[in-house]
Chains A and B, each alone.
Chain A
Amino acid sequence: MSSRRSRQSGISDDQIANLVTKLQHLIPELRRRRSGKVSASTVLQETCNYIRNLHREVDDLSDRLSELLASTDDNSAEAAIIRSLLN
């Protein structure tokens, strides 16, 4: 256990900084502020906000999809097209 611990606490700050930079590139909000002065804490906060936004978008679009799927089952011509695509 002690050997495992000493090996793992060798995760350097460089690697952490590397990961933080990678995350920064992925978040559109922070890509604009590429000043190099963005702190790790900001990156993590913006990541949380971004993930929450994405979740909200998934919810919103699921609502729309469900509406669409419900409304199309009345008309047979459209249903035929949909069936041909989804099968």
Chain B
Amino acid sequence: MASADKPLNTDVPEKDVFALHFLQSLSNLRRQHTFNSPDKTNHRVNKIKKAAYVSMARAAGGTNRLWSRALLRRAAKENNRVVGLSRRNKRVTWLRRRSNNRRDPLEEKDAERLRNLVPGGGAMETSKLMEETAHYIKCLSMQLGKAVFESLKCVLGVRSCRLFTLSNKLKKFTISLTANPSRNSSLVLSNGMKWGLCVAVL
């Protein structure tokens, strides 16, 4: 299966793809009635978190990668939805993994820890695991560092803009996602800032 000749492919899509998926899922969340109530904070936080991971998995290639497939399957199971994913026979992959992991025991201990962190890692053998880890890290840092969250943090630094220019700016932002050079990332909810803050929610 994983022959030594196949070149490793760890390309991730552009950050716009990630942001688009995430914004779509956020807007879907907002349409739910129970979402906007001021209480039930944990419930809301968990939903946002799950939306972030699922949108990342979809943006990164849906069912093309093992980790995104496992993530989506886990999320669907939590919603008790039946997902039509082609299941590789788990027992076969486990046996294959056992027969091939004759590495030195040091590496295997660390690899086990890694398997617990990367979604779907339990059924992968070591080389596949590392490839998936590389892709996973790239996608995570794309989602966190560059795509939506960092830009959110950047726009939080916007102080005094007029309503019109702000909404235009943010519309452009939704399409092009250029990061604002001002990088004030503190979340102070004072009244003056609150106006700029709320617009930053995008």
A16 to B111, CA, bound (A): 12
Chain A stretch 58-77: residues in CB contact (< 8 A) with chain B: 58-59, 61-73, 75, 77
Q: For residue B152, which residues in chain A have a CB less than 8 angstroms away from its CB?
A: 61, 65
A52 to B198, CA, bound (A): 30
Which single member of B44, B111, B199 contacts A82 (CB below 8 Å)? B199
Q: A23 touching B130 by the CB < 8 A rule?
A: yes
Q: A8 touching B96 by the CB < 8 A rule?
A: yes
A79 to B200, CA, bound (A): 11
Q: A15 touching B4 by the CB < 8 A rule?
A: yes
Q: A11 touching B4 by the CB < 8 A rule?
A: yes
Q: A48 touching B117 by the CB < 8 A rule?
A: yes
Q: For residue B141, which residues in chain A have a CB less than 8 angstroms away from its CB?
A: 26, 54
- Cβ distance B90 to chain A, nearest Cβ, rounded Å: 17
Chain B stretch 67-104: residues in CB contact (< 8 A) with chain A: 96, 99-100, 102-103
Chain A 13-53 interface mask (CB, 8 Å, partner B; 1/0): 01110111011001100000000000011001101101110
Q: For residue B30, which residues in chain A have a CB less than 8 angstroms away from its CB?
A: 69, 86
Q: A22 touching B137 by the CB < 8 A rule?
A: no
Q: A15-B4, A58-B49 are in contact. Are A5 and B99 (CB under 8 A)?
A: yes
Q: For residue A4, which residues in chain B have a CB less than 8 angstroms away from its CB?
A: 96
Chain B 189-202 interface mask (CB, 8 Å, partner A; 1/0): 10000110111111
Q: A81 touching B163 by the CB < 8 A rule?
A: yes
Q: For residue B197, which residues in chain A have a CB less than 8 angstroms away from its CB?
A: 68, 72
Q: A19 touching B8 by the CB < 8 A rule?
A: yes
Q: Which residue of B lies closest to A43 (CB)?
A: B110
Q: Which residue of B lies closest to A13 (CB)?
A: B103
Q: For residue A3, which residues in chain B have a CB less than 8 angstroms away from its CB?
A: none
A5 to B131, CA, bound (A): 20
- Cβ distance B105 to chain A, nearest Cβ, rounded Å: 10
Give me the interface of A with B, judged by CB distance under 8 Å. 4-5, 7-12, 14-16, 18-20, 22-23, 26-27, 40-41, 44-45, 47-48, 50-52, 54-55, 57-59, 61-73, 75, 77-79, 81-82, 84-87
Give me the interface of B with A, judged by CB distance under 8 Å. 1-4, 8, 10, 23, 26-27, 30, 35-36, 38, 41, 44-45, 48-49, 52-53, 96, 99-100, 102-103, 106-107, 110-111, 113-114, 117-118, 126-127, 130-131, 133-134, 136-138, 140-141, 143-144, 149, 152, 163, 166-167, 170-171, 174, 187, 189, 194-195, 197-202
Q: What are the 5 A-B residue pairs with the smallest beta carbon separation, nearest first?
A: A44-B110, A78-B198, A86-B27, A19-B130, A72-B198
Q: List 8 A-B contacts (CB under 8 A).
A: A4-B96, A7-B3, A16-B103, A44-B107, A48-B110, A57-B149, A81-B198, A85-B23
